[in-house]
Chain A
Amino acid sequence: MITVKVEEKLFQNRYKVDVGRPHINIKNPDICRVECKTQECAVCCPAGCYTQEGNGRVVLITDGCLECGTCRIICSDFRNVDWEYPRGGYGILFKFG
């Protein structure tokens, strides 16, 4: 198996980050920590925005978000992702798309 750093891929992309105003939030972190055993968001987010901490917590940093919607839909058991589009003009800026 080859190891891939998603950061190296995201480095090629352009973003206008809305500092301090993430457009996606975990509604209730305790649900991730206590109830969700699978935490697919941490594996399946194509931008690696979700990371699993040793203590069962899931940490979300939206700076590299590609605005695909995967995390919102994949959380089908708990619906624990509060997902909005970034404010107009912010977020990913595709050069090619």
Chain B
Amino acid sequence: MNEKFDAIVVGAGPSGNAAAFTLAKAGLKVLQIERGEYPGSKNVQGAILYSDALEKIIPDFRDDAPLERHLIEQRMWVLDDESYIGTTYRSDDFNKPPYNRYTIIRAQFDKWFAKKVEEAGALLICETTVTELLMDGQRVIGVQTDREGGAVYADVVILADGVNSLLAKKAEFHPELQPKDVALAVKEIHFLPQETIESRFNIKGDEGVVIEMVGKITQGMVGTGFLYTNKESLTIGVGCMLSDFKQQKTSPYALLEQMKEHPSIKPLLANSEMKEYTAHLIPEGGYKAMPEIYGEGWMIVGDSGMFVNAVHREGSNLAMTTGRIAAETIIELTAQHKPMTAANLALYRESLDDTFVMKDLKKYKNMPDILHKNPHFFSAYPELLNRAAHTMLKVDGVDKKSKEREIRQSFVGKRSLFGLLSDAFKMWRAFE
């Protein structure tokens, strides 16, 4: 297989598929290499699909993409051990096509997306692991695979190889990830009859609900939990910073099991059948932890480039957008007969700077540090808020003014007045 391609894309997740599709559609000779049995068989996500990012690649994706439910309701729960206090946003506007967000099942969705890539003209080979990048000095000239005679060459290689990105590390494009730069998430998929899901969540047809959760479920660690509705299944998961798992020595599956026992969560899962258990790292280091994303003959897209907005739980849309823009950069350089040098590929970074991807990452650049230094946001406040609600709502003969005083004292007692003000300031800084 000593053929030469215009571009090689390593990986067939959202970023790799977006890149390969865009390149192939423009008529470039593209090879895409996937280590799984089929695209999707190694990939894990919650999962929510953000239409906007995909529309910019495949405008009519709704015609045949495997979509589960479109989201009409978002719940945010702040949990104590026995209760939660939360907000719900439900809108009929989200119930009008074209829908904005969908739940998806990644093994099915990635397979569909990869088929589109093949139809666009790219060559996809599966069950093939790329073992290293082939270099000529500082320049990437191709990849080595674990197939016999498995060297393949290209003008440019796009690394869409996911959060672990061993290739970038072996080539010393960036150092090993630190535990503080990744979250470890574990997840289960639970099957239930469609009618049961619809009655439990007050939805019908293809309507869907997401619940995002913070609080005692992460046992003091910086992290969040989630529960998403699919057509005939629910996905439930919890993710926390790996540095916190390391420090607290917490078992991730015990954490998930404990969360499922929460009295507000347990009834939603009752009588369901668990059919798969998965784990995945999420690169949540943010803007400050971002590696170099291009160089001589190479570009990085998606999770391998730390393209995740942890605050808004967005990743797949950043992945697709970076994949598309990397491809558009190559297409533009090709049209101008320019070589794939670092100086020319800098256009990729410049183009990304103008998109929501970099703007959002920059906006939240201080968030990871602030959260690492203030884990009480995830334990003390959920408890205080839940107790405050309990105090106010319980009718027990105590007058409301006394109840307010009790609540105020509980906040000051737990965090001190200065602590409360400083926390408010930190959160304002983090979101400004």
Chain B min CB distance to A90 (Å) = 8
A contact residues around B37 at 8 Å (CB) = 16, 89, 93
A68 touching B281 by the CB < 8 A rule?
A: yes
Are B246 and A40 in contact, with the CB atoms below 8 A? yes
Asked if residues B178 and A76 are in contact (CB atoms below 8 Å), the reply is yes
Stretch at the interface among B80-88, B124-132, B364-372: B124-132
Comparing A7-15, A27-35, A53-61, the segment that makes contact with chain B is A7-15
- Chain A, residues 86-97, CB within 8 Å of chain B (1/0): the string is 111101111111
Does the CB pair A93–B251 fall under 8 Å? no
The answer to whether A74 and B245 touch (CB under 8 A), given A9-B253, A88-B127, A97-B107, is yes
A92 to B43, CA, bound (A): 10
Say whether, besides A70-B279, A74-B245, A88-B146, A97 and B179 are in contact (CB < 8 Å).
no
Cross-chain contact B40 with A70 (CB below 8 angstroms) = no
Q: Which residues of A contact B233 (CB under 8 A)?
A: 96
Residues A44 and B250 in contact, CB atoms below 8 Å apart:
yes
**Is B242 within 8 A of A94, CB to CB?**
no
Query: Is B164 at the interface (CB under 8 A from chain A)?
Result: yes
One of A6, A12, A43, A48 near B275 (C-beta < 8 A): A12
- Chain B nearest Cβ from A2, distance in angstroms: 6
Q: A2-B257, A73-B177, A76-B178 are in contact. Are A13 and B277 (CB under 8 A)?
A: yes
Closest residue on chain A to residue B105 by CB atoms: A96
B129 / chain A contacts, CB cutoff of 8 Å = 85-88
Q: Identify B45's interface contact among A67, A68, A85, A97, CB under 8 A.
A: A97
A47 vs chain B, min Cβ distance (A): 7
A44 touches B184 (CB 8 A): yes
Interface string of B230-259 (1 = CB under 8 A from A): 000100000000100110011111100110
Cβ contact within 8 Å between B279 and A44: no
Q: Report whether B182 and A4 are in contact in the complex, using a CB–CB cutoff of 8 Å.
A: no
Q: Which residues in window 117-158 of B have CB below 8 A to A?
A: 126-129, 131, 145-147
Chain B residues near A68 (CB-CB < 8 A): 184, 279-281
Are B261's CB and A2's CB within 8 A? yes
Q: Please indicate the chain B residues that have their CB under 8 angstroms from the CB of A74 in the complex.
A: 179, 242, 245-246
Closest to A70 in B: B184
Chain B proximity of A37: nearest CB distance (Å): 11
**B278 part of interface (Cβ distance < 8 Å):** yes
Closest-by-CB residue of A relative to B245 is A44
In the complex the two chains form, what is the Cα distance from A96 to B188 in whole Å? 10
Given contacts A69-B164, A85-B166, A94-B44, contact A43 B250 (CB under 8 A): yes
Is B276 among interface residues, defined by CB-CB distance under 8 A? yes
Task: Report yes or no: A88 in contact with B276, Cβ–Cβ below 8 A.
Answer: no
- The answer to whether residues A73 and B107 also contact, given A48-B253, A87-B146 and a CB cut-off of 8 A, is no
Q: Which residue of B is nearest A44, CB measured?
A: B245
When chains A and B are docked, how far (Å) is the Cα of A76 from the Cα of B245?
13
- With A and B bound together, what is the CA distance between A46 and B245 in angstroms? 11
Whether B41 is near chain A, meaning CB under 8 Å from some CB there, is: yes
- Interface presence of B70 (CB below 8 A): no
Residues of B with C-beta under 8 A to A84: 131, 166
Q: Are A44 and B252 in contact (CB under 8 A)?
A: yes
A66 touches B281 (CB 8 A): no
Smallest CB-CB separation from B131: which chain A residue? Answer: A84
Residues of B within 8 A of A2 (CB): 254, 257-258, 261
What distance in Å separates the Cβ of B244 from its nearest Cβ neighbour in chain A?
A: 10
Knowing A46-B184, A48-B253, A88-B127 are in contact, say whether A94-B276 is a contact too (CB < 8 A): yes
Contacts of B108 in A (CB 8 A): 96
- The answer, among A4, A73, A83, A92, for a CB contact under 8 Å with B281, is A73
A43, A47, A79, A94 interface centre (most CB from chain B within 10 Å): A94
6 pairs of A and B residues whose beta carbons are closest in the complex: A89-B127, A97-B106, A46-B279, A9-B277, A88-B128, A88-B127
Not counting A86-B129, A89-B128, a sample of 15 additional A-B residue pairs whose C-beta atoms are within 8 angstroms of each other reads A4-B257, A12-B274, A43-B251, A44-B250, A44-B251, A46-B279, A69-B164, A70-B279, A87-B129, A89-B36, A94-B43, A95-B107, A96-B275, A96-B276, A96-B278
- On B, residues with C-beta under 8 Å from A are 35-37, 40-45, 47, 105-108, 110, 126-129, 131, 145-147, 163-164, 166, 176-179, 182, 184, 186, 188-189, 233, 242, 245-246, 249-254, 257-258, 261, 274-281
A-B contact pairs, 10 of them (CB 8 A): A40-B246, A47-B279, A72-B176, A73-B178, A85-B164, A86-B129, A89-B127, A96-B107, A96-B108, A97-B106
